[in-house]
Structure formats: C-alpha cells, structure tokens
Amino acid sequence: MAAADSGNKPSGTANGGKAPPPPKAADSGFTKRLPRLAFMVLLALVYRQLQAPPSKIPGTPGAPLVTSPRIRLKDGRHLAYYESGVPKDQAKYKVIFVHGFDSCRYDVLRVSPELAQELGIYLLSFDRPGYGESDPHPGRTVDSIAFDIEQLADGLELGDKFYLTGFSMGGEIMWSCLKNIPHRLSGVAILGPVGNYWWSGYPANVSWAAWNVQIPQDQWAVRVAHYAPWLTYWWNTQKFFPASSVIAFTPRILSREDMAVIPKFASRPYAYQARQQGEHESLHRDMMVGFGKWSWSPLEMEDPFPNGEAKVHLWHGAEDLIVPVELSRYIAETLPWVRYRELPTAGHLFPVHDGMPDVILKSLLLGDE
C-alpha cells in the first residue's frame, strides 16, 4: 500500500515538495522592445511635423485654377505673368518687375498712365516660383531665378536688353541678375532689398547693427533659415514660439509712413494669391534661399557695366524696420558703381506710396536725380 500511495503523489514532491517554477511570460520580449518602439513612433511623429505639405500646383486637381497667361521654361515649369503700361510693340522702355515677399504678379510698380504713355513704358511682372500661379521650384537657388527671368524675357520677345527692378526680397534677387545676366540689362533699380547678414564683406559692427534692428522673433526666424533650413517650415507653423513677424503681419515692424499705406496694401483683392499654393514653396523657400548660405557675395562683385552702358540704382528707407538700412548703406559705400538714394523718413513700403513709382522709373530710365 505504501508503494502504491507513493506512486500516486504529485511529481512536484520529488523536488523537495516545492511547486515547479511558473513559465516565463509570453510577452516579455515585447516589453523589452516597447521603449524602442515608442521612440520610433515619436521619431515618426516628429518627422511628420517637420515635413511641409505638398504644394497645390496650379492647374492640378484640387489646386488653384490657372487664370493668367504663363510661359513654359526649359525645365517644364511655368511662370505666370502680368503686363501693364503701353502695349509691348509700342514701348520704348521694357521693364521687368520682381515682386517681394508674400506678394504676386499684380504687386507691380503702379506707374501712372500719363508717365507710361509719355515715355512709352511697358511693364512685365510675374509670379516668382511657388507664388500665385507659377509652379514651385524646390531646387531653387540664389542664381536660378536670374535665368528664369532671362527665359521669361526671351519667351515674351522683349529683345536683347531690358530694364529690371525688384522690391524687398525681389530687390535681393537683383544682385543675382547683375552677376549672372548683366549682358541682358539696360539698367537696374533695387528697392529696399533684403540683405543676408552672412554675406562676406560685411564688417561685424555693420552686420550686428543691422541684426539688432530686428525684433527677437525675426532674429530667430532668420537664424533658423540660415543654420537649419530643414526646420523652417516647422518653426514658422509651430505654436510654441513666435514665428516670423512678416508672415504674421505684426504691426510693430511697420514705420509711421508704412502704417499710413497699410490700409491700401492690406485691401488688395488679389493678396490671397501669394499663399494659395501653401506657404512653404513661397514664403519659407524665400527665407531659406535669401538667408541661406551663398557661394558669393554682392559686396565682392565688380562693376557689371564697366563701360557705363547701364546704371544700378539702390533705394532704401531710413526708417525701414523690416529690412535694416545699415546693410544697403554699407553696400553703397563699398560699391562705387551703385547710385544710392536714402529716403530719410520712409519705411519699407515706400514704393507703394502715391507718386513714388513714377519717381523711381524716371530715375531709372532717364537718369533723373
């Protein structure tokens, strides 16, 4: 009986009466991988936040309609344009205008009909890449826009030479045109141009004086565009820190004279077109290119017209709080071939003031001071 009884005992009693250890949890491997998976999810979310949404390319499904004439460039992109002044075939002077930040082809110099007729002025303006109805150009560089302008002029048969004027960010583009296509230019007017604080040739005291004119949020926005361009979209759309004051329409960056014309500037019925493709390929791309790393500096340029065949006019408002005048002042002091005019009470928007487009174009076309 004892032997029979011992045969009926549970097998665990053979281990000193202790129960066998429980099996290992089936999900222990998953538990170990959980921190890594959480990190990967977080990384994916951060990456998604850094990526700009695709542009709404005009003429494609769900995107803005194409309502203006456009030309096709060699790489297949399109530029939308707007013509004003006298008919092209009757013009004595053909002028291409390059618009500024957060603007479009309709933001052309508003020359009076009287002056246009008197002098025979034909004005051509266009949407820069990513603005209005022009295709975006993710590969845009400091130099590429100059060749876009040259192709635009050829596509519309403006002839061997034409005049060029640009405002704000479009003013900065004038330096690229002077460097890359000077043989096509009859004269250039640079109006309140954006400057790059990292251009070689600026003394530290000049660049720092200009830098400190900016309000802190713009210093940060410009710094991000220069040092971490891949963060530009996120920086200007996140809600933790104030983004670019120009994008946000912050009133404190406007001078007294700028405030006087803001109602006129803000009531433009076409203003929405500047951002209709999205802000990244227009505003943010402007910042990344304009404030990015340049391989050359306007301060080191030689006279593009050594035989005096054309003139370069530089205009800037002394009270400009958006684009500090200190940078233009130093350029004018450094480059003897630049004709500089500083407007003592003007802010950034001086080209919008009544009568100023006539003054600017008469100076460019006739040499009036």
Torsion, Cα of 50, 64, 351, 188 (10° steps):
80
The full length of the chain comes to 369
pLDDT tens for 145-164 read 999 999 999 999 999 999 99
pLDDT tens for 53-72 read 889 999 999 999 999 999 99
Cα end-to-end distance, the chain, whole Å: 129
Report the pLDDT averaged over residues 168-190: 98
pLDDT tens for 196-207 read 999 999 999 999
Alpha carbon of 190 to those of 46, 89, 207, 363: distances in Å?
A: 40, 26, 20, 12
Position 36 confidence tier, pLDDT thresholds 50, 70, 90? low
pLDDT above 90 for 280 = yes
Q: Which CATH architecture has domain 70-366?
A: 3-Layer(aba) Sandwich (3.40)
Q: Is 268 exposed, middle or buried (0-12, 13-18, 19+ CB in 10 A)?
A: middle
Position 328 confidence tier, pLDDT thresholds 50, 70, 90? very high
Alpha-carbon distance of 213 to 219, in angstroms, equals 9
Q: Are 87 and 122 in contact (CB under 8 A)?
A: yes
Q: Is 44 exposed, middle or buried (0-12, 13-18, 19+ CB in 10 A)?
A: exposed
Tell me which DSSP letter residue 206 carries.
H
The DSSP line for 288-306 is HHHTS--SS-GGGPPPS-T
Among 171, 180, 190, 199, smallest CA distance to 292 is for 199
pLDDT tens for 161-176 read 999 999 999 999 999 9
Any idea where the domains of the chain sit in the sequence?
70-366
